[in-house]
Amino acid sequence: MQCPYCKEEIQDGATKCKHCYSNIGAAPGQALSTGQGDIGELFSAALNGWKANLGDLAVLTLVFILVVWIPIANIGFIAGYTRSLIKVARGQGKAGVGDLFKAWDCFGNLFVYVLLLLIAGLVLHIVPILGALASMALGFAAMPGLFAVIDGQRDAIDAFKWSLATIQANVVNWLLAYIVGYVIAMAGLILLFIGVILTAPLGMLVFVQQYERVKPA
């Protein structure tokens, strides 16, 4: 059979594509619960999780903003914050400040992943204008891999390969999630700085919901 997302040949009856790692069982454009869906469904799922956990998410985000400035350790705090939002999206519990300090198991892989991206970005910026654009494209293409490292404890290279594969197979969905999530997250900074403790978790939940659609096994 053929993967409905990347169009590569896969084994009959497979539930996940071995090439792009998308969940199989529905054609592109169907309901969110089957692995794909439109941006409205994705945003609705994120909004429902956000409203049900608004107080906890606001407190979590406030503390996260206070500690994320600590060099090196902030890698672990980013992982903890992301895992807390993944937990909320999956209905596995409430977001808690303690979650920020419970993701050190993926610290090494995440540190390498971020370091490689920073180095690549610096190299690309040597080229005027085009280098900056290429760096932005690289950041977008590598974004899903951050979730794979944090959630699946994958190593940096494996996560980056998966990231490129899922972007290639789901580029429109990832791009829409990126734009919508970023605009929502930044709205709190533009309108009222403290508002970011409310808008940032909603924007992140949009990213998380897109990741949940295509997460690797």
Report the pLDDT value the prediction gives residue 29, as an integer from 0 to 100: 35
Report the pLDDT value the prediction gives residue 84, as an integer from 0 to 100: 97
Report the pLDDT value the prediction gives residue 5, as an integer from 0 to 100: 54
Average pLDDT, the chain: 87
Tokens of 96: 């808690």
What pTM value is reported for the model? 0.82
Question: What mean pLDDT do residues 34-53 have?
Answer: 81
Helices (H), the chain: 39-52, 54-67, 73-89, 107-124, 130-152, 156-169, 171-191, 196-214
pLDDT above 90 coverage of the chain, percent: 66
**How far is it, in rounded angstroms, from Cα 107 to Cα 75?**
7
Cβ contacts of 57 within 8 Å, gap of 6 or more: 50, 85, 88, 95, 201
Question: Is residue 114 scored above 50 in pLDDT?
Answer: yes
Q: Binning pLDDT at 50, 70 and 90, where does residue 1 land?
A: confident
Question: Is residue 107 scored above 80 in pLDDT?
Answer: yes
The torsion of the CA quartet 202, 208, 32, 19, rounded to 10 degrees, works out to 160
Residue 16, beta-bridge partner list: 23
CA-based R_g, the chain, Å: 17
Question: Is residue 35 scored above 50 in pLDDT?
Answer: no
Report the pLDDT value the prediction gives residue 7, as an integer from 0 to 100: 62
Question: What mean pLDDT do residues 175-183 have?
Answer: 94
pLDDT above 70 coverage of the chain, percent: 85
Question: Is residue 162 scored above 60 in pLDDT?
Answer: yes
